[in-house]
Amino acid sequence: DAGVTQSPTHLIKTRGQQVTLRCSPISGHKSVSWYQQVLGQGPQFIFQYYEKEERGRGNFPDRFSARQFPNYSSELNVNALLLGDSALYLCASSLIGAGGYEQYFGPGTRLTVT
């Protein structure tokens, strides 16, 4: 079975632009979470979606938004990009959204803002 997939792998954007990152969960998984990992640091939680509803939001500005589709795939949107948004964006899927269930991570999207 395919694992969590993310696209694109790498992305270079200019300050002020907008970006959309995509994630496909493992088949059968209904929960998707997004994390931001700045180089050399631990991932920071951005959003969790379960059954197409937002179930959790981290301490990120409103420039960050996400959604989950009926097939459980998800998009993360970031508007008005800042240099500080440069990071590895990780998507993780889990069977359900409840605490304790293992989260499986994708390879990430490396976003560089210039």
Partner 1 sequence: AQTVTQSQPEMSVQEAETVTLSCTYDTSENNYYLFWYKQPPSRQMILVIRQEAYKQQNATENRFSVNFQKAAKSFSLKISDSQLGDTAMYFCAFMKPSHGSSNTGKLIFGQGTTLQVKP
Comparing C-alpha atoms, which of 86, 104, 5, 105 is closest to residue 39? 86
| Separation between Cα atoms, residue 55 and residue 48, nearest integer Å | 5
Q: Measured from the CB atom, is 51 or 79 closer to partner 1?
A: 51
- Interface of this chain with partner 1, residues 20 to 59, rule: CB under 8 A: 31, 33, 35, 40-45, 48, 50, 53, 55-56, 58
Toward partner 1, which CB reaches closer, 82 or 98? 98
DSSP-based helix, strand, coil % in the chain, nearest 5 = 5, 50, 45
Nearer to partner 1, 15 or 57 (CB): 57
Q: Which residue has the tokens 């069977």?
A: 95
Check if the beta carbon of residue 2 is closer than 8 Å to that of residue 26. yes
Is residue 66 a contact residue for partner 1 (CB under 8 A)?
no
The binding track of 82-111 with respect to partner 1, each residue x by CB under 8 A or -, is: --------x-x-x--xxxxxxxxxxxx---
